[in-house]
Structure 1
Amino acid sequence: MEYIEDWVERALSCFTRERDKQTQPGSANSNEHDPDFIFKIDDEKLKEQFERLVILHPENVHKYIEFLKNLSSVYPKEIDSNHLTQLRELVIALRTQSHSFLDSFLAEDGLSLLLCLLSSSYRTSFALTDPFVLFFLYAFRALLNSPNGRAAVLADGNALVNICRAIDSNDSKCKIAAVEILSGLCFVPEEGHQHVLKAVTEASPLIGERTRFQHLAQDLHAMSVNLKLLPKHSNSFSSPTERETDRVRTAILGLFNALLRTGPAETCIIFRSHLRFELLMLGVAVANEHIREGNVSPQLEDHLDLFDMMRKEDEITLQGLTPADSGSSSPIHFETAVGMAEALNTRLQNSMAMPHFVSLLQHLFIVPCDERHVPLWRLFDLIVQHLTLQTTVNGMTDVHRPIVNEIDMNEILARLQTHLEYEEVKKSLDAAEEELEKERTRVVELENRLADALDGRGSDSGRSSISSDRSSSPAISTVSASILPPVCPPIAPAPPPPPAIATLGRKPENKEAVRKVPQPKGPLKTLNWTKIPMDKVKGTVWDGIEDEKLYKQLDLSEIEQVFAASSSHSDEAESVLGTISRRNKETSVTVIDPRRFQNCTIMLSKLKMSHREIYHALISMDEKGKIPKDMIEQMLKFLPTTEEIALINDAVMKNGGSPACLALADRYLFEVAHIPRFEQRLRCLHLIRTFRDRVDALIPHIQAVTKASSAVSSNKRLRQYLALVLAIGNYLNYGKRNGNAYGFDVQSLNRLVDVKQSQKSDRNLLHYVIQLIEKKWPDLTKLKRDLASVFDAARFNRAEVLTEMRSLEQAIQIVRNELEKKEIPQEASLTDESRREKEKDRLSTVAKHFVSTATVDYGNLEKLMAEMNTKYCECTRQLCVDATSPPEELFVPLSKFLTSFSEYHQQLWVENEAEEQVKRQTIARTYFAKKNRRRDKERDFEQLISALQSGDIFKEELCRLRTSFRVPKKA
């Protein structure tokens, strides 16, 4: 193996092979403190050292424990070369002895001694202690080969923190050893990832970092041979070579990739994005670009590719797209404030969260940005991180000291949701109560009027004359209809029919007995119940009820005070004729159909313009755009008829000749009837106001067909895909009626899903074609991106477009005809007042301008249509489709095929991702599986680190990503 930390394994497993490096005479003693000295001794001396350290000496844990205790007492002031030699022997023993030796070492508190020594080294000069720190780290790494050793290291909270502190070491070997230990521990199931993140976070302030990962990101920026950014001591031992610089970068990127592909980050894109955003803020992406400009090893290049492609894949997923759609949409710049603000604005545009986002930006804008308020911005950042992770990652947070008191997001969200629901329910309740009160008032008024009308029929002998006049003058029912709302709510059962003609004018013979009810002192409110006749009470619950005795127990004065009728209520004793005459004075007159009256009133309430404003707007052809376009269309539904005009004029004449007596809808029809050629004017106004919108609505459909026709005709990927399907189809149809084909129609692309696979019934020919494309022609997966315009073209309808174009041409002709009629000279017959009114009339001016501009717009539309037909004919010729067929017959099947292609590709991508995740988990578990041979057990953690640094553990993941993404290569 090529890495320096594997020198022990080389000494143990390869001591019989010849070394590539030749030992120089006299160099053994001079390099005694060099960790690489074992590579410089000859085979005979190596065998002698091996027998002395391993074979001749039995396992003696107490000796090493005593050595560590002795070293703790003299370290770091009174150390010599003998101490370093004995420490080297301890590392070899931990790497080679049995598990019982490691268990005894742990039982004798060896881990605590090593941890104490490592912690003490950080309080001294690194120039003196670097060799010892390196072997301390090697000792910890050797312990991690054992399951019990890993458990003990992870259980001790300070162990990983002290290992993380070695990241700040001047010695590149110490840095590499520490980073590789952390990388390997990320793959430990259950809690490895969590312990590593926690240790890195806690060690950050101890090594002087502003934020965690800061020193690692700075090391990536080092482009020269000297890797260390801040030279603390300039000695030959701490100066890294070019190879070591490459190894440091490989180890650091290996740690970043391990953090992003293990633990919660492996399955949760939110948590993974949180970690990546933290690294991007430290400039890791820029550092990667600088590293690519130099000479990098294949292992480092693999880690760079993996980091960049995982980032691109996650960013596409966050946008709600698939890798196949990535090229057809603009990417989000996650590293710039402008890019993120634009993306959030687009994402929240039609969301209820948009006002809160705007409010958040507004309040952030007023926060000062000077140095004094930087901690406040930091607090905002930490709070948002804390709340985001706790909300989206099942309560798991990874923010260093975000808030003193932990926030329960579930409780906060529950309270917010309850508050919002309360506000909505309260609004609904208030509206319902208001509507209920209105309905009650309407019901009371209606019943009172019906009762008054019926009482009047039975008491007034002259009622027949009133009924005979209904055909000529507004009757009671007509007046009531003008007062009451057009649509009445459900009311109590209808009153009994009027008495027969023989009994009309006489009191009924069977008179009910008068109840002994006290007479109130004043008018009270009415309880609108439905009475049960006396002859139906017998034998019911009401028979025998002594309600009259209860009046002695009731406080009648309180009832009179609480339910006193207001002065606005009419006295029930008032005569019917007096009531009717009073209501007639307060009521407007309406003569049009009640339903038409109702709909017209609703239209005018939405228009919110007075009759005079409507008149002037129509005379001026609404040049200021006061009347909305949709309301013009509604006004066309309420054109006054000849009969309605006659009735309205009669009603005005009978009421003194003033239109003020008319109801709202009748007054509107009266006013617009005096506008010259009102119907034609309104229709012209509607055509003028909607013409531009109708043209603009047609242009995108026509351009979509033009664009799609060009894309389909010239797309090379589509031709390659058609060739592939033709080859496979001819092979399947060999010797059959459909075999030996030279081509196929577009509809046949959608029949690939009908060919089921023999081995998997849920798979079809399209699945197989996509898998084949992924393996051999990955560039064809961009087919949907190239033909994105086909989806818009599939919504094109030739018949509707041609009908709309004919309608537009007719609209121009209608306005032109009206303009010609308007320009007929009539000056001789006009009075001065009529001449002034004509000068205010803008119909001619507006119509002339419309005809000139609309003719040009329609000509441009015809040109676009001609260009579309040309492109479409070329496309149909390429695909052997009938040129006379409408475009939808070509593009609908194509869009359906592209949709199926994208869905199946996404399905296979998800399945492959799940398989890759299972494989990664299996590989990680394999390195820690119990085996029968002791040597395999000892090498598990070493193999994991080796696979991580070489990139083998991400090999299949990297191959999958490279089929979908491309990374920039140096020129």
Structure 2
Amino acid sequence: MDLEEGNPSADLSLSPTSSLSRKLQQSPGNVSPSQQSVSSPSQGQFAMPALPPAPPPLPPGCKVPPPPLPMPGINVLSLPPAQPCSNPQCKHLTCGCGEQPQPKKTPTLRMKLFHWQKLPSDVVRQSHSMWAVMPSSSKDLVEPDYASLELLFCVPPTTPKEKPGPKMKKSKEITFVGPKKSLLLSIFLKQFKCSNEEIVAMIQKGDRSKLDAERLKQLLKLLPDDHEINGLKSCKEEKSELADADQFYLHLLEVPSYQLRIECMLICEETKILLECLWPKAQAIRTACEMLLTSHRLLVFCQLILKVGNFLNYGHHTGDAGGFKISALLRLTETKANQSHITLLHHILEEIEKNHTDLLQLPRDLDFVSKAAGIRLDVLRAEASANLKKLLEIEKRLFLSTDDLKIQHAKSVQGSLDASKDLQKEFATIEKKKEELADYLCEDRKKLSLEDVFNTMKTFRELFLKALQENEERKAQAAKSEKRKKQLKGEDAKRLKGECGKSITFNKN
């Protein structure tokens, strides 16, 4: 206490470390260095390290002491050195005892990608996978040839393309036609592979060598509208500045009555195609009707069926018939005989083959009828009548047109009219034949359908031919069976004869 009061500044010059060492020396548990060397460990005392010298005094004006210096053995924690891994099977990937990893090789160029499914590192280390095990020695490690990899799989450098010079923009064409219609008209004009003037000249002359029915139909749909015509007529620009479709329209507008000319050409082409299709069908119907009316074999065969039917239906309300509907011919296969696979038609054909062989040629007479089956007379008439109506309308319009147009198309239109009228005459002839056939078959004239009659006769013809073939096959099978029986009888006779000869020889002996 006296020391502190006598020299108060001395306390400030001492650091906390020096004061701490002084207190430790004055504490009753401390001993002198001589006693420290003599004292034994059994007394519970431990040796303290030597204290460092006192730090220099604080500079004048400084009230905060500097940080204490580290004390050996007290402030510095000494860690034990790293011990090697005791697991002989550990490859030091997860324990941290392995060698320092070598720096990764990185390419100097841009490389092509190898597409794989990447596994995260934490997933690999947590599992006992092949990726968690490293070779035990450096000899097992295989290093790739990075130089060759970089040479073979680098992305080749792209040479910058030379930019073409600016193209000269064409001056915008003037058009009064919509884009869709202009495109369709351009496609249509390219079919001819000739100029617009030549196409218009063909229309003006009525030349149908390159203008068939389909092209004429397309052209009618692409004719200019009123607003397009007005725009083209009011245009004061040069023709070369107009679009191709507009130039074609300008040439077409110079032809008087161009739409009527196209319609005349179209109706003549359509009439030609239609008549080529309808005439053979109409003639087939007329020929089939005439064949049914004049076939002697069909008449004799039906008389035979009538006799057979009355014999089978004797005593029944369907017996003693004077005739039958022609559709009854299809029911000849429905009446079964007592023998298997034999019908009434099979039996009748067997009788015909024996006594009336000429009736076996009946399918030849019905050949024309089979070809006419499926042709509908009402459809033919409707198509011919609609075309004739168009022709008559065109004829009226042509009569009111200019003289040059009459001279050019009157002949072709009149020829189409004459051919159509001839077809109408053929239909009238067929109608008369139909009435005759209805009377011949005892049918109602108004209800008789030629299509039904032709289909019935076609089916009967097929049944007739099928039954003939089955009869031939049955005969061939019976002949084979008979021949086989004769062979067996001959073999049995030879065997019996041989056995008899042996028995006679045995008796003589």
Distance 2:495 2:470 in 1: 41
Q: 1:889 corresponds to which residue?
A: 452
Write out per-residue CA displacement over residues 627-656 of structure 1, whole angstroms, 9 at most, x where no aligned residue: 234432343343333355567789x87xx5
CA gap of 1:924–1:698, structure 2 versus 1, over 3 A, is farther
CA gap of 1:819–1:725, structure 2 versus 1, over 3 A, is same
Q: 1:804 corresponds to which residue?
A: 383
CA contact (8 A) 2:192 2:210 kept: no
Unmatched runs of 5 consecutive residues or more in structure 1: 1-515, 519-538, 825-841, 937-971
1:16-95 counterparts in 2 under 5 A? none
Q: 1:592 corresponds to which residue?
A: 178
Matched, 1:635 2:219: yes
Structure with the bigger percentage of helix: 1
Distance 1:748 1:777 in 2: 21
CA gap of 1:588–1:643, structure 2 versus 1, over 3 A, is closer
Amino acid at match of 2:381: L
Amino acid at match of 1:678: Y
Distance 1:699 1:892 in 2: 21
Unmatched runs of 5 consecutive residues or more in structure 2: 1-107, 111-115, 122-146, 500-509
Distance 1:910 1:559 in 2: 83
Matched, 1:765 2:344: yes
CA gap of 1:855–1:731, structure 2 versus 1, over 3 A, is same
Write out per-residue CA displacement over residues 143-178 of structure 1, whole angstroms, 9 at most, x where no aligned residue: xxxxxxxxxxxxxxxxxxxxxxxxxxxxxxxxxxxx
CA contact (8 A) 2:363 2:465 kept: yes
Matched, 1:783 2:368: no
TM superposition shift of 1:783: 0.7
Distance 2:488 2:255 in 1: 88
Q: Give the secondary structure class of the aligned counterpart of 1:822.
A: coil
Match of 1:823 among 379, 397, 402: 402
Q: 2:434 corresponds to which residue?
A: 872
Q: 2:327 corresponds to which residue?
A: 747
TM superposition shift of 1:880: 0.8
Q: 2:26 corresponds to which residue?
A: none
CA gap of 1:933–1:690, structure 2 versus 1, over 3 A, is same
Q: 1:676 corresponds to which residue?
A: 256
CA gap of 1:740–1:845, structure 2 versus 1, over 3 A, is same
Matched, 1:861 2:423: yes
TM superposition shift of 1:923: 6.3
CA contact (8 A) 1:705 1:872 kept: no
Q: Give the secondary structure class of the aligned counterpart of 1:635.
A: helix
Q: Give the secondary structure class of the aligned counterpart of 2:210.
A: coil
CA gap of 1:591–1:845, structure 2 versus 1, over 3 A, is closer
TM superposition shift of 1:817: 1.7
CA gap of 1:924–1:617, structure 2 versus 1, over 3 A, is farther
Matched, 1:615 2:200: yes
CA contact (8 A) 2:174 2:243 kept: yes
Distance 2:303 2:412 in 1: 53
Write out per-residue CA displacement over residues 395-451 of structure 1, whole angstroms, 9 at most, x where no aligned residue: xxxxxxxxxxxxxxxxxxxxxxxxxxxxxxxxxxxxxxxxxxxxxxxxxxxxxxxxx
Distance 1:846 1:644 in 2: 28
Q: Give the secondary structure class of the aligned counterpart of 2:400.
A: helix
Q: 1:697 corresponds to which residue?
A: 277
Match of 2:239 among 651, 654, 658: 658
Distance 1:917 1:648 in 2: 90
CA contact (8 A) 1:632 1:682 kept: yes
CA gap of 1:602–1:920, structure 2 versus 1, over 3 A, is farther
CA gap of 1:683–1:932, structure 2 versus 1, over 3 A, is same
Q: 2:407 corresponds to which residue?
A: 845
CA contact (8 A) 2:314 2:320 kept: yes
1:324-343 counterparts in 2 under 5 A? none
Matched, 1:813 2:392: yes
CA contact (8 A) 2:268 2:413 kept: no
Match of 1:553 among 151, 161, 167: 151
Which protein shows a greater Rg?
A: 2
Matched, 1:900 2:494: no
Q: Give the secondary structure class of the aligned counterpart of 1:711.
A: helix
Q: Give the secondary structure class of the aligned counterpart of 2:290.
A: helix
TM superposition shift of 1:911: 4.6
CA contact (8 A) 1:710 1:871 kept: yes
CA contact (8 A) 1:707 1:789 kept: yes
CA contact (8 A) 1:706 1:868 kept: yes
Distance 2:169 2:493 in 1: 100
TM superposition shift of 1:727: 2.5
Distance 1:751 1:669 in 2: 68
Match of 1:726 among 294, 298, 306: 306
TM superposition shift of 1:913: 4.3
Amino acid at match of 1:684: C
CA gap of 1:851–1:554, structure 2 versus 1, over 3 A, is same
Distance 1:660 1:541 in 2: 64
CA gap of 1:559–1:772, structure 2 versus 1, over 3 A, is farther
CA contact (8 A) 1:688 1:850 kept: yes
CA gap of 1:643–1:758, structure 2 versus 1, over 3 A, is farther
Q: 1:715 corresponds to which residue?
A: 295
CA gap of 1:542–1:935, structure 2 versus 1, over 3 A, is closer
Distance 1:633 1:856 in 2: 23
CA contact (8 A) 2:206 2:408 kept: yes
CA contact (8 A) 2:109 2:150 kept: no
Q: Give the secondary structure class of the aligned counterpart of 2:494.
A: coil
Distance 1:793 1:754 in 2: 26
**Count of aligned pairs between the two proteins:** 364
Distance 2:456 2:488 in 1: 48
TM-score (norm. length: structure 2): 0.58
Amino acid at match of 2:291: A
Q: Percent identity?
A: 22
Amino acid at match of 1:871: K
CA contact (8 A) 2:239 2:247 kept: no
CA contact (8 A) 2:439 2:445 kept: yes
CA contact (8 A) 1:621 1:843 kept: no
Amino acid at match of 1:658: K
Amino acid at match of 2:471: L
Distance 1:670 1:517 in 2: 65
Distance 1:916 1:597 in 2: 79
Q: Give the secondary structure class of the aligned counterpart of 1:636.
A: helix
Distance 2:483 2:197 in 1: 79
1:919-934 counterparts in 2 under 5 A? 931-933=494-496
Q: Give the secondary structure class of the aligned counterpart of 2:444.
A: coil
Q: 1:352 corresponds to which residue?
A: none
Q: 1:252 corresponds to which residue?
A: none
Distance 1:734 1:807 in 2: 54
Amino acid at match of 1:932: R
Q: Give the secondary structure class of the aligned counterpart of 1:753.
A: coil
CA gap of 1:782–1:552, structure 2 versus 1, over 3 A, is same
Distance 1:823 1:647 in 2: 26
CA contact (8 A) 1:621 1:685 kept: yes
Distance 2:120 2:440 in 1: 93
TM superposition shift of 1:809: 2.4
Distance 1:716 1:647 in 2: 74
Kindly report the root-mean-square deviation, in angstroms, between the aligned alpha carbons of the 2 structures. Answer: 4.5
Distance 1:926 1:609 in 2: 89
Q: 2:56 corresponds to which residue?
A: none
Distance 1:673 1:631 in 2: 19
